[in-house]
């Protein structure tokens, strides 16, 4: 029973020397993992930047999703009839007949025919102004607006146009709606993938930071083991400290992203009357994310903080197992 005593006295002396050499780290009120160190501040800055990028990706995806839904809703409510000129027929009579047939379709709210001058004006952005269109076979257009939530069947109208108005074609813009849906889904998928990559990058940064903190606090961990602290206690301490660090960085990054979106929305509204503002509004709407977009940004900030805490704990446990 007396043999182990010299080893215990030696361990106690070693621990006492370690405690004298590290008084700040082992003081009663000092944390095991100091988060205000240079490494902790750098990690918080990295987490803030990554959260900022992830929040911007999520906000951009939400803007594209909302704008795409608006585009598809507007396009789906319009149907176009195009009537090509025919030397053997009076085009004005064909236009009037096509308008009459369109108005008879259930679900049609309005059918408006473009005049010859209005149809020619539609070509000016591509052909330029001041051209003489008299010798050009400019087709006439009829725009049909549908009632809200109406999905009429245009097969009968197509047959009537083929029979009574030769040269008339009906376009329900189904191809454009499909292309818009594909484009929007692709952009949203890219945004989600970028958010996932950013979260993975945040996890890797936390792993390196945690291993560095463990290496820097190796003596502290040894003393804690000597006084009876187990691996779970040390891992929980690291998890708690790194969660607070991650939460601080993610809140800063998410707040900066939301502030930037609000500023861009204000700038877009101030440019609304200009051609640039009209183009921005046509692409992104009013450049305002909905409440669901704000909720997604908040969830991303919390998720980054949780990943920071959980990854740090798992890294500490693995480090201790390897060291043990």
Q: How sure is the predictor about 306, in pLDDT bands with cuts at 50, 70 and 90?
A: very high
Average pLDDT over residues 178-188: 84
Question: Quick one: pLDDT at residue 15?
Answer: 45
Q: How sure is the predictor about 234, in pLDDT bands with cuts at 50, 70 and 90?
A: confident
* 52 CA to centre of own chain: 11
Q: CA-CA-CA-CA torsion for 64, 74, 183, 178, nearest 10 degrees?
A: 150
Q: How sure is the predictor about 302, in pLDDT bands with cuts at 50, 70 and 90?
A: very high
* Residue 158 to residue 168: CA distance in whole angstroms: 9
Query: 46: closest CA among 214, 164, 177, 199?
Result: 199
Tens digit of pLDDT for each residue in 196-225?
998 899 889 888 888 887 777 777 777 777
How is residue 67 written in tokens? 């704008």
Residues above pLDDT 70, as percent of the chain: 77
Q: Give Cβ neighbours of residue 99 (< 8 Å, ≥ 6 apart).
A: 111, 112, 113, 142
* Residue 225 to residue 231: CA distance in whole angstroms: 8
Check: CB of residue 305 under 8 Å from CB of residue 223: no
Question: Quick one: pLDDT at residue 2?
Answer: 45
Check: CB of residue 184 under 8 Å from CB of residue 65: yes
Q: How sure is the predictor about 280, in pLDDT bands with cuts at 50, 70 and 90?
A: low
Can you give the pTM of this predicted structure? Answer: 0.67
Question: Quick one: pLDDT at residue 74?
Answer: 74
Residues above pLDDT 90, as percent of the chain: 9
Least confident segment among 10-14, 148-152, 181-185 = 10-14
Q: How sure is the predictor about 251, in pLDDT bands with cuts at 50, 70 and 90?
A: very high
Average pLDDT over residues 55-70: 82
Query: 71: closest CA among 183, 165, 186?
Result: 183
Q: How sure is the predictor about 176, in pLDDT bands with cuts at 50, 70 and 90?
A: confident
Tens digit of pLDDT for each residue in 108-162?
888 888 877 777 777 766 666 666 666 677 788 888 888 877 777 788 888 888 8
CB atoms within 10 A of CB 253: 29
């Amino acid at each position: 029973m007396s043999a182990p005593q010299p080893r215990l006295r030696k361990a106690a002396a070693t621990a006492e020397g370690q405690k004298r050499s590290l008084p700040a780290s082992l003081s009663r009120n000092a944390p095991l993992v100091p988060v205000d160190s240079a490494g902790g501040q750098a990690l918080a800055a990295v987490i803030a930047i990554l959260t900022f990028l992830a929040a911007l990706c999520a906000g951009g995806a939400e803007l594209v999703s909302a704008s795409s839904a608006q585009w598809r809703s507007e396009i789906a409510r319009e149907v176009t009839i195009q009537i090509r000129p025919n030397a053997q027929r009076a085009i004005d009579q064909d236009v009037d007949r096509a308008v009459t047939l369109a108005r008879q379709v259930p679900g049609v709210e309005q059918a408006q025919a473009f005049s010859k001058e209005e149809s020619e004006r539609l070509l000016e952005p591509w052909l330029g102004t001041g051209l003489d269109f008299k010798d050009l076979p400019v087709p006439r257009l009829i725009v049909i607006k549908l009632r809200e939530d109406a999905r009429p069947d245009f097969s009968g109208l197509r047959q009537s146009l083929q029979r009574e108005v030769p040269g008339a074609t009906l376009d329900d813009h189904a191809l454009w709606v499909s292309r818009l849906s594909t484009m929007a889904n692709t952009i949203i998928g890219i945004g989600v993938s970028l958010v996932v990559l950013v979260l993975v990058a945040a996890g890797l940064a936390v792993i390196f930071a945690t291993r560095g903190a463990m290496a820097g606090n190796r003596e502290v961990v040894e003393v804690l083991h000597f006084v009876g602290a187990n691996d779970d206690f040390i891992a929980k301490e690291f998890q708690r400290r790194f969660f607070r660090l991650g939460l601080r960085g993610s809140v800063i990054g998410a707040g900066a992203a939301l502030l930037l979106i609000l500023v861009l929305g204000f700038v877009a509204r101030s440019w609304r009357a200009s051609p640039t503002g009209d183009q921005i509004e046509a692409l992104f709407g009013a450049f305002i994310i909905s409440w669901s977009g704000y909720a997604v940004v908040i969830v991303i900030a919390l998720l980054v903080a949780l990943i920071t805490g959980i990854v740090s704990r798992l890294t500490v446990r693995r480090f201790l197992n390897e060291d043990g």
